[in-house]
Chains A and B, each alone.
Chain A
């Protein structure tokens, strides 16, 4: 029974303008930007409600489905109702400087403490020098210095006087001190000295030796005296500082008396300031060495002092400031766009100084986990996995429930590095990624399930019905407002909705990929603006779609050109045995298009072999091979089942060099073999798509719209004859969202779409010969395709058997 072609109204779902009860999208208020994701929403809400460890959320789904936007909005609303988490600071550890101390404070107090400490140091820097410049201090200091200076002077002058009395001079050499005999204030020349009586010479030498011993003894004492002097000065400095510092710190201690950790810190600060006051607060403070030469040596060894750096230890490194107004009202929601390891767990910055990289607790910087602590952290899963060490460190941190700032190389390189005290962590992490990533992590990482117990799976599409169409219109309106594009009139909204169905590849569905619609609105609005109109029309939307295709279809045009110029052999008229037009889809970036491919089959006697030439040369994928095996099974089970299948069939995609996969051509290949076996020619003005099962039922395939349009474009280029058309699986009819020009051609009777359910329907349509059903005796009607095929297979089996018999006149014996 001939197959009834599809009427034009089955080829495309068209939005009925009368269903849209608005003039422009400006009339639509309160639309949601994300539709049809109820299950995902429930999952997210569920995950957010559980505060136990591991109840982090992985939001999976297609790109452009509005996952980020929805998650952000949901979290913002939820977080606003939650309390602000603590501030976190890092402080200098006076006992162990390389292990900075972490300090948790109520929100806003970190900033207070930081400002108070800054003010304290400023006050001390202003006030303490005055204390040190006071007459009392200066006099006491001077007395100490003088005492020690005099002690030294006395000793050395004593030596000098003794030397002078014996006509000996104390002189300075480049590396020390020496004693030499003098006469008239001049050192005696060697010749003069030799002229002296031996007794006198010996006396001089003995005097010098004696003085030398005394000098050496006293020089040895100098460092001890100097140390003693420094200690006395240090004690004086402590006494001087103690009063001033105690007064300043007392006020702070009273202010923070409820916070034991701050009070302990202030105690440590006070002790440190008192111990180091003079060196810290007096820029000119240089402890005067006893001898000038020692001063020179000290300067050379230590270099100039940098007092500014020494005050850093009293700073408060406010790592997380939740008191700031800019951080919103409730718990933080932080989206880390660049989840590199340092951006995630924080880092210690370094400062280059004299070729070395130096750091301290003031250079510790917060990461996303610090900022989101007490709230929510959103990360793009793909970006996270692309960053070295980031995923492992995130897992480790979530397991440990504390953030530890350390370099990834710290474990491998034995340099002295900061080891800041870890900060306790309570955060809900929301990873957003595509499905492949989710399934990959779930399959390969045993820890993944422990940490991301909630999966929120966003749909690719939603059902198209009256309700959803109206909701979709509301979504388009909301998108238009957010994007700031021209408002859409009804025709424009209708066009967008139809486009959405086409994107979904299903006339009964709407695409959930909001991102694609956003781009379309932006582009269409640009066209509206160019036309100097304020409202976007359906034509604007269509033009935007056309332009989008035009921007992407260079390859399609080249492919089609090769067919129309006869380089790639595709017939669109006439009939051929064993030759059929198959249809394939090429995906280039986000653009997909269909094109016809000639498939041919040749048969001969054999042993039931089906040679898939694509597979033989490694151009065919496993799914394609599967399709070929299925069709061979169909042949073997459908015809001459009581005889061995005695043919050898070869199948090939002609002029295909880029590889083939998928089973959408398996029915096409079967038609070609049936034609070859029955010798019934196939119409070349038809193209075919559809997979087949072992029972000869034609099954749905993907890309049906692109495939039909691909063949239509070739036919239109050559001129539509009215007989041309495409055979598609009947189960694909609901997916039809064909271009308007294709629909128009069908409506005008210039092109035909045949919905095919079985191989028999298909072969009848292609050959014009009935397929034929078996009668009561199990025979196919004479002249039918099935009869012709079966007869040919019987012939081949018989012939094969004949070849297997022994030749006449030969035998054993």
Chain B
């Protein structure tokens, strides 16, 4: 089969690799109809996340048709159309029982190694390094899905892929982040980052009834999209974020701040330069400028909702500011199975339309170009969907 393989920093190739097989009773094999590149894939693309090996198949946002199931899967059958959660969860461990699905104890074959790295075994994710299990990802024609009796959600045949694909990751991620903000009537929420997750967080917050949402980025086409979704855009290259937010919130600061950026934040000024240098020479794995700014801007007693991906320790974390302001920090990988069914219902009803964030649909064969477009935000790129069925070289089709 054809698959998108990681070979190093800014080096992804579409290659012929062996097709996956059923290895465990609870496995299924999915033939991918649509898959997307996630902002977190860019951390791998840029070589910022550890534990990757040349040849690893990328991708954790995908959907398609079931082509085979193991002897332990009774709820799926060949031909079912499913969206697959990016987080692999067993459904029966201490954590899954408490709906902390992204903390699953049983889904990572390399759990002991991650326990050494993080102090606790991490759950398995598709196509996201050997730290999270070394599972082959979904940017491929076929994928093996473990615990397939628990994760995948069936979708009706008549709904287009574009509407439901993002239930695999970014829609539940954004929704969870919006929920973490715990916004009360009258509250204002500021969202850092207008990539796909930031935009869907704006959409989610608005759908939850939050009246005032600010969206912070520096890419004009993304800020414009955030504005159409109902946010007040703030361009951090031309506006002072702290001053603007305080001016707009009666001098208090936003009641909650949401990080949809993560470890490769772009900051202006000296700290931004220092961060990039440290990351480049491996003194620091993550650049936490968004976290610092959120702590600075948030109102006293407010909440930080951290969705951005971080991998290691960070320096210059203003803990004193966070402590004295009485902030609450809420963060996790997405506890996807908690939101899956409810969000599918909202999408089918038309309450949420996550397909609005798609800017490009390309052939899987053109993944290398797709990564470049997305990473460099070229050609108005916000979100790329890859289709194994499209012929190589098919013209990039702006969807909206």
Whether chains A and B associate is: no
A binding-site residues for B, Cβ under 8 Å: none
